[in-house]
């Protein structure tokens, strides 16, 4: 049964469908692995054993009666600790929210539960989701699967590592500036950032509501498609016949290749050659609208984050890691007029981006321009924490600023991903399925 821990969510669902896997046995296999793993306390903030066992028994009965609710009915997954769970602590990685217990599930958890997915527990994250490194000295910092001394990427650090270490079939994270895609890339997973508004934020602890999005971290593109469908109560995109032949891809050179280090750069170049060999048409583009949008980031993210949490932060600032506290307080000096003007400017830049990329099926770039730094290095050097954090989110932030969906895929080189972005999740998933085959 240990092989179940490394199977895709879709394959587990197929095993349940044909009767080879009982959801009760599957859930117990995960719960046993979680209880025995050396990094459990660094990955899971809390487990929901009773809930998981109850949901597994119900899924088992449905399977026996031929009444499965979805292809993932009976599959156990984890949830980032900013999704409300009824009667279970939801603290968003912050001591500011210690003891917070919601009385109902977030809408996406309710939808996933209605689809038969099983909740294993809540995973650690960086404080209030405002850091890309995955370092959280105030609660826990999960290790990267490829380097146990390195950070795992954030803020969905536990979501990524719960899957990478075989402690969940998939993890649900959130993405405001790269918090699904960065940890997915560093832990060799598929990560889907949905476009703003695609999935409900009801019952999700906010960071920047205008940028916050929900997204899965998982083993395959098929898993991402099925999880998206489960969380919105819809039908998964068809991946049948997906091909790269004739697909038009644009390499975004503006901003995305700044400070690109050798490992991620080489992995990206090799992947692009494979995409071309599979029939993709690949061109390089420069977009002034991207560099202009990137210059607005400091006027947009921090003010909204600080405005959302100012009361709680200033009532107890010592409860926060100083470097994350400084990120929030960085929004205090931005005037309301500058914030409004920046959003108006960004809306025009988004329109320009859409116009200039309309002839391509997707825009591609390295998911993260650096490899995960050592935890000790960014803990001991404040300046390094700041610079590495900004670099971690450099490329992913482009998609958030432009209001896009994004899909990161493993390149086959450890902790190096390739990122596809565009306005349509369905289109990205179909491209992603073909890319998976090309890079395999």
Catalytic residue among 179, 255, 271, 415: 179
User: How far apart, in Å, are the Cα atoms of 114 and each of 119, 167, 223, 240?
Assistant: 12, 22, 17, 26
- Angle of CA points 173, 176, 177, to nearest 5°: 110
155 given a catalytic annotation: yes
For the question of residue 358 being annotated catalytic, the response is no
Residue 88 makes CB contacts below 8 A (sequence gap 6+) with: 46, 48, 51, 101, 102, 122
Pairs from 387-392 (Cβ < 8 Å, separation ≥ 24): 388/133, 389/131, 389/132, 389/133, 391/259, 392/132, 392/133, 392/153, 392/178, 392/182, 392/368
DSSP state of 283: E
Choose, from 80, 94, 141, 193, the residue flagged as catalytic. Answer: 80
Given a contact cutoff of 8 angstroms between Cβ atoms, the answer to whether 426 and 239 are in contact is: no
199 CB-near residues (< 8 Å, 6+ apart): 108, 213, 214, 215, 228, 231, 232
Task: Classify the phi-psi angles of 410: left when phi > 0, otherwise alpha if psi is within -120 to 50, otherwise beta.
Answer: beta
Cβ proximity of 163 and 113 under 8 Å: no
CA distance 58 to 202: 26
- CA-based nearest residue to 190, from 218, 155, 222: 218
Query: What is the sign of the dihedral through the CA atoms of 83, 77, 130 and 257?
Result: negative
Q: Which of 8, 155, 271, 367 is catalytic?
A: 155
Separation in Å, CA 20 to CA 1, 6, 12, 13, 167: 11, 16, 9, 10, 20
Checking DSSP bridges between strand 147-151 and strand 118-123, what pairing results, if any? unpaired
Question: Within 10 A of 229 (CB to CB), how many other CB atoms are there?
Answer: 19
Around 297, how many Cα atoms within 13 Å sit in the side-chain half-sphere? 21
109 close to 326: Cβ distance less than 8 angstroms? no
φ/ψ of 157, rounded to 5, equals -65, -50
Q: Which of 171, 143, 169 minimizes the C-alpha distance to 156?
A: 171
Q: Which residues are catalytic?
A: 80, 155, 179
């Amino acid at each position: 049964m240990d092989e179940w821990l490394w199977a895709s969510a879709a394959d587990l669902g197929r095993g349940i469908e044909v009767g080879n896997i009982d959801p009760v046995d599957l859930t117990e296999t995960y719960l046993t692995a979680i209880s025995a793993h050396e990094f459990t306390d660094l990955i899971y903030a809390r487990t929901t054993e009773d809930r998981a066992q109850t949901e597994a028994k119900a899924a088992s009965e449905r399977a026996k009666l031929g009444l499965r609710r979805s292809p993932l009915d009976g599959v156990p997954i984890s949830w980032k600790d900013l999704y409300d769970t009824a009667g279970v602590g939801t603290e968003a990685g912050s001591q500011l929210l210690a003891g917070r217990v919601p009385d109902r599930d977030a809408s996406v958890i309710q939808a996933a539960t209605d689809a038969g997915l099983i909740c294993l527990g809540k995973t650690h994250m960086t404080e209030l989701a405002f850091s890309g490194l995955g370092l959280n000295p105030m609660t826990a910092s999960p290790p990267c699967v490829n380097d146990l001394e390195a950070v795992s990427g954030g803020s969905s650090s536990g979501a990524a590592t719960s899957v990478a270490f075989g402690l969940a079939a998939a993890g649900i994270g959130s993405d405001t500036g790269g918090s699904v895609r960065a940890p997915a890339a560093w832990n060799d997973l598929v990560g889907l950032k949905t476009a703003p508004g695609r999935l409900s934020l009801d019952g999700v602890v906010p960071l920047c509501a205008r940028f916050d999005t929900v997204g899965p971290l998982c083993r395959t593109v098929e898993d991402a498609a099925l999880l998206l469908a489960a969380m919105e109560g819809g039908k998964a995109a068809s991946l049948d016949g997906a091909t790269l032949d004739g697909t038009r891809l644009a390499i975004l050179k503006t901003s995305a290749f700044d400070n690109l280090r050798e490992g991620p750069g080489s992995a990206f170049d090799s992947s692009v050659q494979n995409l071309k060999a599979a029939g993709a048409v690949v061109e390089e583009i420069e977009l002034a609208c991207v560099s202009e949008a990137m210059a607005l980031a400091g006027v947009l993210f921090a003010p909204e984050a600080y405005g959302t949490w100012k009361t709680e932060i200033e009532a107890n600032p010592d409860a926060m890691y100083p470097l994350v506290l400084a990120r929030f307080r960085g929004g205090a000096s931005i005037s309301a007029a500058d914030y409004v003007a920046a959003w108006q400017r960004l809306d025009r830049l988004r329109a320009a981006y859409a116009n200039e990329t309309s002839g391509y099926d997707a825009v591609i770039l390295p998911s993260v321009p650096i490899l995960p730094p050592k935890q000790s290095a960014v803990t001991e050097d404040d300046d390094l924490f700041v610079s590495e954090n900004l670099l971690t989110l450099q490329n992913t932030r482009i998609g958030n600023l432009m209001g896009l969906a994004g899909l990161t895929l493993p390149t086959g080189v450890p902790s190096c991903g390739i990122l596809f972005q565009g306005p349509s999740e369905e289109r990205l998933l179909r491209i992603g399925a073909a890319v998976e085959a090309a890079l395999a």
